[in-house]
Amino acid sequence: MYDMFERLLKEKGVTAYKVGKETGITPSTFTHWKNGEYEPKLDKLQKISDYFGVTVEYLMTGEEKNCDNVSGTDEFTAKNEEEKELLVLCRQTEDMPPEYKEKMYNTIKDTIDIYLKAIGKGE
């Protein structure tokens, strides 16, 4: 898995530090993976996969199946860098208590609604 991670870092021109900063994964975790001391947990693999816009399967094996995601649609596949960043931010809320997570989501939704109304595209 770590070999694929390093390949994706090179392909995308980013550092492990930047990926860690944006996904909440510590540098020591990457070091443990690189040294074979720990196996990555699924939640962290998913965060890295989401960051790079690949499947967990691709991250683990370097190969993709024919489907883009579990549901078989592109509905939840990031279409561009901005959507990928939003997806990474959403994944970072996974460790939040439910009441704070709900407040965070409501704040984001309200902010988008206010902006759309301000530019004349809201209700």
Is position 92 within any domain?
A: yes
Is position 123 within any domain?
A: no
**Residue 94 CA to its chain's centroid (Å):** 11
Q: Round to whole Å and give the CA distance between 106 and 49.
A: 26
Q: How many domains are contained in the chain?
A: 1
Q: What is the pLDDT of residues 59-75, one digit of tens each?
A: 888 776 544 444 444 45
Is position 38 within any domain?
A: yes
Looking at residue 30, which CATH number applies to its domain?
Answer: 1.10.260
Q: What is the pLDDT of residues 83-123, one digit of tens each?
A: 777 777 777 777 778 888 888 888 888 888 888 888 887 65
> Among residues of the chain, what percentage have pLDDT more than 70?
85
Q: Round to whole Å and give the CA distance between 22 and 102.
A: 21
pTM: predicted TM-score of the whole model, two decimal places: 0.53
Q: Domain of 74?
A: 2-118
Is position 76 within any domain?
A: yes
Q: Round to whole Å and give the CA distance between 85 and 51.
A: 7
Q: What's residue 87's pLDDT?
A: 75
Q: Round to whole Å and give the CA distance between 102 and 38.
A: 32
